Structure 1
Amino acid sequence: MTALILSTQRIEPITELVVFGDSLSDTGTVFRATGGAYPPDPPYFQGRYSNGRVWVEYLAEQLGLAASQIRNFACGGATSGNYSNGGLVPGLVRQVNSFTQTHSQIQSSSLYVLWAGANDYLQGANDTTAPVKNVMNAIDSLSAAGAKRVLVANLPNLGQLPATRNNANSASLTALTQTHNQKLRQSLKVLSQQQPELEIAVLDANALYQSAITDPAKFAFTNVTSACMNGSGSCETPDQFLFWDGIHPTTAAHQILGKHAFAAIETHLSSNARR
């Protein structure tokens, strides 16, 4: 499998993924930090918050990148800001600042991936201003250090997760998600106008989750409302579930996210992009 080649001469092939975010993208940061204690394996898979590989790994595979060409700083429990969990977990801004401080000139051929904000709201934030600003500040820091291509994901409906859909906060989480995504879309549009040399692809995770919930059969899912894993163990058919636990998707869902992220890159990073 070859790397994604962008046919216009001004664009280099993607040679590396550099990933920042939370448990949706974490491939073992917390697992290594806790000496393999968390997330427990089994039932979780080798440090992922799922039953298999996560979306950035599927994306890398489609880009033709080896594991050695992924640098992943995403950390389970991370918020969009500096620190969460009493200062123990570096948030998105902290992850990016730590990276740029040790890489004053970063590779323009890399794709910088950012997905964060869910934990801000799940941990009680009720205003979208700071989380959106944090994401944009993280992008600004990468751009100032030399990044030319970024992939940003929006938030799925946080009020429709197995852990939240039946609780008192469901409606407010849905509203926060909608506002966050609207502000993020607007902020990215402004940034594109201000910095046309910075290429931005957006993974519309919200639309993808909503599509799966509305039409599960389209994705070969039979259950899109409850978690495969429960108190007595896990279900026998995890590939038919959207959710692995109360918050995180199954690896089958991650594979779909990776596929759509690749499509977003082809569409938005170059109108002439091809494999």
Structure 2
Amino acid sequence: MQKQILAAGFFLLSLMLPLKASAHSYEEIYIFGDSFSDTGNLFNFTSGAIPPSPTYFNGRFSNGPIWVEYLASKLKLTVNPNTNFAFGGATTGFDNLGLPIFPGLQQQINSFTTANLAANSNALYIVWAGTNDYLDYFFNKIPNPTQSVANLSAAITSLAAVGAQDIMVVNSPDLGKFPVTGSDTQSADYLSTLTNAHNSGLVASLNYLSQKLSPNINIIPVNVNYLFDRAIAHAEEFGFTNVTDSCMGDSPVVPIDIPTQPIRCIPDKFLFWDEVHPTTATHKLIGGFAFSALLKASVPEPSAVWGVLVFGVSAVLLRKRKQQCLTY
């Protein structure tokens, strides 16, 4: 009898899981963060001065589309400029590495929550910030991972308070492995230490928020730190030939489709476009990785499903057994 129950349970489980293994059908995407996710806000604010064309693609801090655009495409959506608040130079707080008039993450969140007292519960909300908090180190400021994580927690809480339900939160890649550190091992080690502290604190904070916030709130973590580490350690798996240097070098890149000009690099073979920002090839990987996180979040916990199935199948089989006993 127990074997029959187990066999029936596994059969039903195999039928149910594929139906669940698809990302949520979202109506729109709201984006908050820095230059990793900025699709033109800083560019438009500075009348096309930052980031400059044609070195950078259409206001993106890369040589092509960025990760949120690749993710949106997989969700059969497009990034709406009116719902992308990400701004180049933003920190997790109110500061910006650019001019004081440029917003940080908190201004972005406040702008959204002020204008949207009832957020769309069928939208995906993305929060990715922190890099500029630690790059402040190069401006003789002392970064504080505890404060940065607290800022991110405040942003998530504010979004949840107005009705956001699915909130994607991206951690930090290892900044100590970025070209910006150059050959300065002391800076590289320090930035790696800050990154580790940031990510550890973020995990603890997200776990706490998952318990504290409404059960309707679905926090979707994206471990981009793992993705970058994997790409750096196994470049060939991702089609890269250079995962340590900036493709641009110290001067603008000459497009490789102009044969009369010297070729400085082949962008798709590089992890980094400049000293801080990824190439569009890397952004495509990040977008796919984030989509996988959504797929994972949409699949129910195996233990919970199994418990329900076993209980249901057990009830059916036991009821049948009772009927057989009554018949005899």
TM-score with structure 2 setting the length: 0.77
CA contact (8 A) 2:247 2:267 kept: yes
How far has the Cα of 1:87 moved from its partner? 1.9
What is aligned with 1:224? 243
Which one has the bigger strand percentage? 1
Query: Counterpart of 2:279?
Result: 250
Q: 1:7 to 1:91 in 2, by over 3 A?
A: farther
**Aligned partner (choices 212, 222, 234) of residue 203 of structure 1:** 222
Q: Whole-Å Cα distance in 1 between the matches of residues 294 and 59 of structure 2? A: 27
Q: Say whether residues 1:184 and 2:202 are aligned partners.
A: yes
Higher helix share: 2
Amino acid at match of 1:230: G
SS in 2 for 1:226: strand
Q: Which amino acid aligns with 1:243?
A: F
Distance 1:101 1:151 in 2: 21
Q: 1:37 aligns with which of 42, 46, 49?
A: 49
Could you tell me whether the CA contact under 8 Å between 1:60 and 1:70 is conserved in 2?
Answer: no
Counterpart-to-counterpart distance in 2, 1:20 and 1:161: 22
Q: Kindly indicate whether the alpha-carbon contact (under 8 Å) linking 2:246 and 2:273 is maintained by their aligned counterparts in 1.
A: yes
Q: 1:64 aligns with which of 35, 54, 76?
A: 76
Aligned to 2:115: 102
Q: Per-residue displacement from partner, 1:16-36 (whole Å, max 9, x unpaired)? A: 110000000000000000111
Residue of structure 2 in register with 1:174 after alignment: 192
- Aligned mate of 2:62, from 41, 47, 50: 50
How far, CA to CA, are the matches of 1:119 and 1:68 in structure 2? Answer: 24
Out of 111, 123, 131, the position equivalent to 2:124 is 111
Aligned runs of 1:133-152 on 2, under 5 Å? 133-152=150-169
Q: Which runs of 5+ in 2 are unaligned?
A: 1-17, 254-263, 302-328
Aligned to 2:305: none
Equivalents in 2 of 1:29, 1:53: separation in Å? 14
Unaligned ranges ≥5, structure 1: 1-5
1:13 deviates by 2.4
Q: Which stretch of the first structure deviates more once superposed, 124-133 or 15-24?
A: 124-133
- SS of the equivalent of 1:189 reads helix
Normalising by structure 1, we get a TM-score of 0.92
Q: How many residues align?
A: 265
For residues 32-65 of structure 1, the C-alpha deviation after alignment (integer angstroms, 9 at most, x for no partner) is 0011111001110000000000000000000001
Partner-residue secondary structure (3-state), 2:71: helix
- Over aligned residue pairs, what C-alpha RMSD do you find? 1.9
